């Protein structure tokens, strides 16, 4: 039996791991264990998603919490290493591009444990984004790369990664969306927030480049202030943004806006329901660019670049940056018109990506008669590193 150690750390990892766990559940040749690094720890940022998406309870929680990039990455690595040694997996599977993704991949590969990376190959071309560094480095050391869109294959090829390692399988986050869309439609969140279908704008904002600098954040807020005078604006507020608004002395101003509906971070089903019925979504998230494409809801992305270009080509996504006048012009153009739904979804975004991943893992497992080697390898790697120190 091949043993896989699956890793999650932050909120956006959870909708990606859910269908993979489901596809691995009860598999006759592959077993898995789930490990949470604890990068995200609030109920609204983590535990609620386990309940809603039916993700099995993690066998281990490393409880690393927040910190600077170096602190957080190092803390995950320190706490993950003994878990890999203890469990002795044949494969470590990581998803997405958060600090936990890179930290765990790095630990595994140094213990000679192969790594599978789900959502590989995405590139924004912007190396000031922490996620871009996490993506490049995780892909460079992964053995199996599962890709969501053609640009991912092109990027990996350009970086010299052997094509046999890359597998175009579709998008596991879209598997989760398709599986839960009907249930989400039953949520009473619109009623709770007092908004009507297609008569509100949904906003998410948490990217450090937008919320960590007072001047940039202030500029974006001026555009949003105008927007909420024209149509109700719903903002489930991310902890990073909340902390910065308070630190910059901007919270009081926001709370006085007449048409802004501020909420705590929402669960998956409530958020999906709100997104699916929004008039327009404004966001700086990566995943929401993909989800709005599938929902057919116009998305204005408050960034200058995207690592998910298929959403601007085949989807509803439009990049508008963080300049307030550009945001306003784009919003007013859109708000006044009826944007048609995209004619077709990006290739393989059909709800079956996790099945394809498990099929590839099964073949990979068949080709490795040495599957009990990693345990010995781990001990060897550990001894080698101890003898060097």
Q: Which residues bind ligand UD1 (CB under 6 A)?
A: 10-12, 39-42, 45-46, 66, 98-99, 130-131, 206, 238-240, 243
Is residue 206 part of the annotated active site? The answer reads yes
Smaller CB distance to ligand UD1: residue 135 or 277? 135
Q: Which residue is nearest to ligand UD1 (CB)?
A: 66
**H helical segments located in 1-43:** 11-24
Ordered DSSP codes for 332-351: HHHHTS-PPPPSSPPTT-SS
Q: Token digits for 318?
A: 């439009």
Q: Token digits for 201?
A: 């704008």
Q: How far is the CB of 131 from ligand UD1 (least distance, A)?
A: 5
Ordered DSSP codes for 96-155: SSSHHHHHHHHHHHHTT--EEEEEES---S-TTSHHHHHHHHHHHH-SEEEESSHHHHHH
How many helices (H) and strands (E) are present in the chain, helices listed first?
18, 13
Among the options 27, 206, 222, 238, which is catalytic?
206
Q: How far is the CB of 70 from ligand UD1 (least distance, A)?
A: 11
Q: How far is the CB of 62 from ligand UD1 (least distance, A)?
A: 13
Q: How far is the CB of 98 from ligand UD1 (least distance, A)?
A: 3
Ordered DSSP codes for 146-189: EESSHHHHHHHHHTT--GGGEEE---HHHHHHHHHHHHHHT--H
Smaller CB distance to ligand UD1: residue 57 or 388? 57
Buried/exposed code over 288-319 (b: 16+ C-beta within 10 A; e: otherwise): bbbbbbbbebbbbbbbeebbbbbbbebbbbbb
Q: Rounded distance, CA 286 to CA 303, Å?
A: 10
Q: How far is the CB of 173 from ligand UD1 (least distance, A)?
A: 12
Smaller CB distance to ligand UD1: residue 52 or 131? 131
Smaller CB distance to ligand UD1: residue 240 or 382? 240
Smaller CB distance to ligand UD1: residue 128 or 367? 128
Residues involved in catalysis? 206
């Amino acid at each position: 039996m091949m043993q896989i150690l699956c890793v999650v750390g932050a909120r956006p990892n959870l909708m990606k791991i859910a269908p993979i766990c489901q596809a691995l559940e009860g598999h006759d040749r592959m077993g898995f264990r789930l490990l949470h690094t604890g990068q995200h720890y609030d109920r609204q940022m983590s535990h609620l998603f386990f309940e809603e998406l039916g993700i099995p309870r993690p066998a281990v929680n490393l409880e690393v919490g927040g910190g600077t990039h170096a602190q957080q990455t190092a803390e995950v690595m320190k706490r993950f290493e003994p878990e890999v040694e203890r469990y002795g997996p044949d494969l470590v599977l990581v998803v997405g591009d958060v600090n936990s993704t890179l930290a765990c991949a790095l630990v595994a590969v140094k213990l000679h444990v192969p790594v599978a990376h789900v959502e590989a190959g995405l590139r924004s071309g912007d190396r000031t984004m922490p996620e871009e560094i996490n993506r490049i480095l995780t892909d460079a050391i992964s053995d199996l790369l599962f890709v969501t869109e053609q640009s991912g294959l092109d990027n990996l090829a350009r970086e010299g990664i052997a094509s046999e390692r890359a597998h175009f399988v579709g998008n596991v986050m879209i598997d989760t969306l398709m599986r839960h869309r009907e249930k989400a439609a039953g949520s009473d969140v619109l009623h709770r927030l007092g908004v009507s279908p297609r008569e509100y704008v949904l906003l998410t904002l948490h990217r450090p480049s937008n919320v960590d600098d007072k001047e940039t954040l202030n500029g974006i807020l001026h555009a949003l202030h105008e927007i909420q005078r024209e149509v109700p604006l719903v903002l489930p507020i991310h902890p990073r943004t909340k902390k910065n608004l308070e630190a910059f002395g901007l919270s009081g101003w926001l709370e006085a806006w007449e048409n802004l509906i501020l909420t705590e971070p929402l669960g998956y089903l409530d958020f999906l329901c709100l997104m699916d019925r929004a008039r327009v979504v404004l966001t700086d998230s990566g995943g929401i660019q993909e989800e709005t494409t599938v929902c057919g809801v116009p998305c204005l992305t408050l960034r200058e670049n995207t690592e998910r270009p298929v959403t601007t080509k085949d989807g509803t996504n439009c990049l508008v940056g963080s300049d307030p006048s550009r945001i306003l012009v784009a919003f007013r153009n859109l708000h006044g018109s009826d944007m048609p739904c995209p004619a077709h979804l990006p290739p393989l975004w059909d709800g079956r990506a996790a099945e394809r991943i498990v099929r590839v893992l099964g073949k990979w497992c068949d080709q490795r008669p040495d599957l009990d080697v990693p345990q010995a390898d781990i001990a060897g790697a550990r001894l080698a590193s101890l003898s060097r120190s």
